[in-house]
């Protein structure tokens, strides 16, 4: 009823293989896109600048990581350091007077190269061992940034982003920064959805499922593992630059600490491995739920509903958050994307009970 499947017949391969073969899905995407486009006109600065903008950027980061972790099955626990390399590269390039567009590409390239070097560990080790190898990357990059003043920016270790413009639009006002982040997130989303339909994406899936089985059927694990690290790190590097220029506007080492890496992994896992909508949902969950809970609990306390000490008060949101994570994982181990998928399938054939697939 909602999706109106009746009458949707694909007579050509192109329509059947379209990104959204069902018109209702297409309409939902268009509506979501339109809402995102006009958001600056109806959202207050608070919600645009502190919720939408960071959500889009962290979603981009989760999407970059999900290519590696979800599609290619290579665990990465140091993705924040990849973003740090991108952020610092872009900021130093922009300060040297290189146009911002090129600085972004440079940021991606630098992250991709360094990320691939560390990713080479994946050629020898898998699973938990790869986690440790990528952790080493996190700590090495952190150490280098903190200990090389030329990178971190001297005693105070803070680098402010210079004024830049992207394709002639100055990236200064909140609106322009929002649109740039939106554009990047949209680009990544479309890219990732298409990757799944290419031979590259299928090769990554083969490697994820069993790398030597993939080798048997002619997928070169050496090449595709490195390509996965390269692509993912490139996207992560540009996202790091976006984070620096669109959101923080000043870069310090703490912004890319180990905690951030863990948060990114959590986004990918809670959202659903390898899923595009899962990237967005996971980022919203990990990034925004703590903020919303903190304000909710503080609001409850202010109106007298929750008379406890301020120390306990600060920890109540954490408890609820922890319970939420456990709850979601018990309810649906495949992540928020799967919950979305189940809901969609339910409405696909509503009012009947069962759907195909």
Partner 1 sequence: MRKFKRGLLAVGLLAGVAFSGVAHAQDNEPIKFGLLQDFTAVYTFVSGEYNQGQQDYLTLINEEGGVDGHMVEAIVRDTGNEPQRGIEAYNRAREEGAILVDFLSTPVSRALVDRVLSDEIVMITALHGRGDASAGETFPYIFPMMATYWSQATVLAQYIKDNEGGLEGKKIALVHIDSPFGREPVPVLEDLAEKEGFELSTFPYPSPGNEQSAVWSEVRRFRPDHVMIWGAGGGQPVSVREAIRNGIPADQIYSVVWLAETDVENVGADVMTGVKRFEAVSTGTDNPILERIQETVIDADLGAGEADNVGTTYYNIGVATMAVAVEAARLALETEGAPLTGPKLKAGFEMIKDFNAERLMPPVTITAADHQGGGAGRVSQWNGEAWEPVGEWGAAYQDVVQMEIDAGAKAFAEGN
Place of tokens 């280098």: 144
Q: Alpha carbon of 56 to those of 35, 156, 198, 329: distances in Å?
A: 13, 29, 25, 24
Q: How far is the CB of 80 from partner 1 (least distance, A)?
A: 12
CB of 133 to partner 1, least distance (A): 19
Tokens representing residue 10 in the block: 């694909």
- Shortest Cβ distance from residue 302 to partner 1 (Å)? 9
Q: Which is nearer to partner 1, 295 or 342 (CB)?
A: 295
Q: Going residue by residue from 144 to 183, which x/- string records binding to partner 1, judged by CB under 8 A?
A: --xx----xxxxxxxxx-x---------------------
What CA–CA distance (Å, rounded) separates 320 from 82? 31
Contact (CB, 8 A) for 229 and 93: no
Question: Which residue, 134 or 263, has its beta carbon nearer to partner 1?
Answer: 263
Cβ-based nearer residue to partner 1, 193 or 289 = 289
Min CB(299)–partner 1 separation in Å: 11
| In the complex, least distance from residue 26 CB atom to partner 1, rounded to whole angstroms | 33
Nearer to partner 1, 140 or 195 (CB): 140
Each residue 36-75 as x (binds partner 1 by CB under 8 A) or -, in order, gives --------xxx--xxx--x---------------------
Angle at 31 between CA 170 and CA 41, to 5 degrees: 40
Report the b/e string of 162-179 with b at 16+ CB within 10 A: eebebeeeebeeeebbbb
Q: Please choose, from the candidates 245, 194, 200, 191, the residue with its C-alpha nearest in 3D space to the C-alpha of residue 60.
A: 191
The nearest distance, CB 252 to partner 1, in angstroms, is 5
Residues between 95 and 114 that touch partner 1 (CB under 8 A)? 95
Residue 82 CB, nearest distance to partner 1 (Å)? 18
Site string for partner 1, 234-263 (x = CB under 8 A): -------------xxxx-xxxx---x----
CA neighbor of 4 nearest in space, from 352, 348, 353, 356: 348
Whether 80 and 257 have beta carbons less than 8 Å apart is answered as yes
Cβ atoms within 10 Å of 108's Cβ, excluding its own: 27
User: Where does residue 265 rank: exposed (0-12), middle (13-18), buried (19+ CB within 10 A)?
Assistant: buried
Closest CB to partner 1 among 164 and 206?
A: 164
Helix axes 79-95, 221-242, angle to 10 degrees: 60
Q: Which helix (H) or strand (E) holds 250?
A: strand 250-251
- Least distance in Å: CB of 337 to partner 1? 23
Binding-site size for partner 1 (CB under 8 A) equals 42
Is the Cβ of residue 186 or residue 288 nearer to partner 1 in the bound state?
288
Chain positions 300 to 319 lying near partner 1, rule: CB under 8 A, are: 309-311, 314-315, 317-318
Q: Which residues bind partner 1 (CB under 8 A)?
A: 44-46, 49-51, 54, 95, 146-147, 152-160, 162, 247-250, 252-255, 259, 287, 290-291, 294-295, 298, 309-311, 314-315, 317-318
């Amino acid at each position: 009823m909602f999706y109106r499947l009746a009458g949707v017949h694909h007579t050509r391969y192109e329509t059947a293989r379209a990104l959204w073969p069902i018109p209702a899905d297409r309409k939902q995407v268009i509506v979501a896109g339109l809402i995102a486009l006009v958001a600056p006109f109806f959202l207050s600065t608070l919600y645009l600048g502190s919720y939408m903008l960071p959500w889009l950027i962290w979603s981009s980061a989760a999407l970059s990581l999900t290519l590696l972790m979800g599609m290619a099955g290579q665990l990465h626990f140091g993705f924040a350091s990849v973003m740090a390399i991108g952020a610092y590269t872009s900021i130093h390039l922009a300060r040297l007077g290189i146009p911002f567009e090129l600085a972004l590409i440079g940021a991606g390239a630098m992250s991709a190269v360094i990320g691939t070097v560390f990713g080479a560990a994946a050629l020898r080790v898998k699973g938990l061992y790869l986690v440790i190898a990528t952790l080493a990357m996190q700590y090495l990059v952190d150490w280098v940034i903190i200990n090389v003043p030329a990178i971190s920016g001297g005693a105070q270790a803070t680098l402010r982003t210079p004024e830049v413009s992207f394709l002639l639009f100055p990236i200064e006002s909140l609106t322009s920064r929002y649109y740039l982040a939106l554009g990047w997130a949209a680009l990544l989303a479309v890219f990732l959805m298409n990757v799944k339909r290419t031979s590259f994406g299928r090769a990554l899936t083969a490697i994820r499922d069993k790398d030597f089985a993939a080798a048997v059927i002619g997928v070169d694990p050496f090449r595709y593992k490195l390509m996965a690290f390269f692509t993912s790190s490139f996207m992560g590097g540009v996202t790091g630059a976006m984070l620096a220029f669109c959101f923080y506007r000043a870069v310090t080492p703490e912004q890319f600490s180990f905690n951030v890496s863990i948060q990114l992994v959590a986004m990918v896992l809670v959202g659903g491995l390898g899923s595009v909508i899962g990237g967005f949902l996971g980022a919203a969950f990990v990034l925004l739920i703590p903020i919303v809970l903190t304000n909710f609990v503080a609001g409850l306390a202010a109106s007298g509903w929750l008379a406890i000490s301020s120390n306990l008060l600060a920890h109540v949101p954490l408890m609820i958050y922890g319970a939420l994570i456990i709850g979601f994982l018990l309810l649906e181990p495949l992540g928020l994307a799967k919950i979305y998928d189940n809901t969609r399938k339910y409405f696909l054939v509503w009012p009947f009970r069962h759907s195909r697939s």
